[in-house]
Structure 1
Amino acid sequence: MPGPIELVIFDCDGVLVDSERIAAAAQVTVGAELGWPLTEADAVELFMGKSQESVGAMVVERLGPGADETWRTRYYEEFYAGLDRLEAVPGVVEALDALAAAGLPTCVASSGGHERMRRTLGRTGLYDRFAGRIYSAADDGGRGKPAPDLFLHAARQTGYAPGACAVVEDSRYGVQAARAAGMRAYGFTGGLSPASWLAGPDTVLFDDMRKLPVLLEAAGTAA
């Protein structure tokens, strides 16, 4: 039976900040410009939770060499332009306050780059809660999700064994990466991903961030 949870690793987009709709809209806009028609559902299925490198590879396969650089540039222009309407995920501040009161350490591990997280977490007032404990698949090396590299890197950097970590994710690739890392996954179903994409072994599904502290406490009690 697994031991108690000692570290909670949060994804960023869609888990801490409600940015996935902004991101999907940006992908749809850029796709229309460059000749790859997409719906919001297409963008979520193809790109959500994937690293910049993985998205770039798909763009090159579809649109040809060099298109990934144009796509990335235009995507970030559109994404950052939409941040004026960005908010924290409902209930996440209460959840973080409860975890801090319980003395349970937290960190962030995201497919996005550090600059992106400085902007999104900063915009929502969450950056200072995690400063010094923010890890990026785009900037810190290793393979992107669904490979386990990012979460294993976060565990090493914070000094916790993988089996003592819980990962909070909202994408199918994120929960797959958590399982591959030997960590317990908590799949947040209050965003754009259908619950069926997140369900699987060692994964608890929940639809309200306010429920997370109780679920984590229950896991520790069960252990």
Structure 2
Amino acid sequence: MHDLVIFDCDGVLVDSETMSNQCIIDNLARYGLELGLEDAIGFFVGGTMTGVMQKARELGAGLSDDWIDEIYGEIYARLRAGCPVIEGVPGLLDKLDAHGTPFCVASNGHEAKMEITLGQNGLWPRFNDRMFSAHVHGIAKPDPGLFQLAARHFGAETPVVIEDSPSGVTAAIRAGMRCLAYAAHSDGTELRDLGAEVFHHMNDVPELLAL
């Protein structure tokens, strides 16, 4: 039995990855860099915005040093217009509560972004006092430190991580933690090859966790 469930946020709790990456695509096109959605997801999902800027510059985009503030403003505006919760998440959290299993979120994303996405879906009160952001702690996936910090905070000895990106899975495996990888739109081969147990719907998680 696991004594802590650590969730990633974007793409795991809320369906924000496609929206955020489309926003990045639209922005970078103004700087002369044309990318498709599949390219952007491959380059950027699971990373930090600093990493996005560095990669975009390597690909030829002439971005200014204040680009991160610019793109966050555009992403936040788009997410405020509506960002759905991943189907099955509220019920999964209810089951964890019923079994007395604590849970938290550990994300490379900014807390302000999570307040927007989780807030409009009624999830913010369930996570706002159990949140670990790379922007606050200065530790970003694939470094395992963010997950290790969360486990220490809860005194957890058998935590499990729920992720959807290669960098997140890598961080969990490096931390020596079991990792369940949510693959909603693929067979999850890449995530499985990194050491995760792949699943395709949040309704599968209670059985995987023996709840």
Say whether 1:18 aligns with 2:15.
yes
Quote the Cα distance in structure 2 between the aligned partners of 1:56 and 1:137.
16
Structure 1 residue matching 2:193: 3-state secondary structure: coil
Counterpart position of 1:36:
33
| Seq. identity, % | 39
Out of 82, 87, 91, the position equivalent to 1:90 is 87
Matched residues in 2 for 1:68 and 1:7: separation?
39
Partner secondary structure for residue 66 of structure 2? helix
Whether 2:155 is the aligned partner of 1:159: answer yes
Q: 2:31, 2:61 within 8 Å by CA — same for their partners in 1?
A: no
Determine helix, strand or coil for the equivalent of 1:187.
strand
**Aligned residue for 1:200?**
193
Listed as ranges, the gaps of 5+ residues in structure 1 are: 219-223
Q: Distance in 2 between matches of 1:7 and 1:93?
A: 17
Q: Which amino acid aligns with 2:103?
A: T
> Structure 2 residue aligned with 1:188, among 178, 182, 204?
182
Whole-Å Cα distance in 2 between the matches of residues 136 and 177 of structure 1? 14
In 2: Cα distance, 1:37 partner to 1:190 partner? 26
Secondary structure in 1 matching 2:138: coil
CA contact (8 A) 1:10 1:109 kept: yes
Are 1:61 and 2:58 counterparts?
A: yes
Q: Structure 1 residue 78: deviation in Å?
A: 2.5
The TM-score normalised by the length of structure 1 is 0.87
Q: CA deviation at 1:80?
A: 1.7
CA distance in 2, matches of 1:68, 1:115: 21
Q: Give the root-mean-square deviation of aligned CA atoms.
A: 1.9
In 1, Cα distance between equivalents of 2:62 and 2:142: 24
- Tell me how many residue pairs correspond in the alignment: 210
159, 169, 174: which is aligned to 2:163?
A: 169
TM-score in terms of structure 2 length: 0.92
Instruction: Write the distance in 2 (CA, Å) between the matches of 1:198 and 1:108.
Output: 19
The CA deviation at 1:109 is 0.2
Conserved in 2, the CA contact under 8 Å of 1:57 and 1:68?
no
Cα contact 1:171–1:197 (8 A) shared by 2? no
* 1:20-67 superposed Cα distances (whole Å, 9 cap, x missing partner): 111111111111011221110011000001022322332343447863
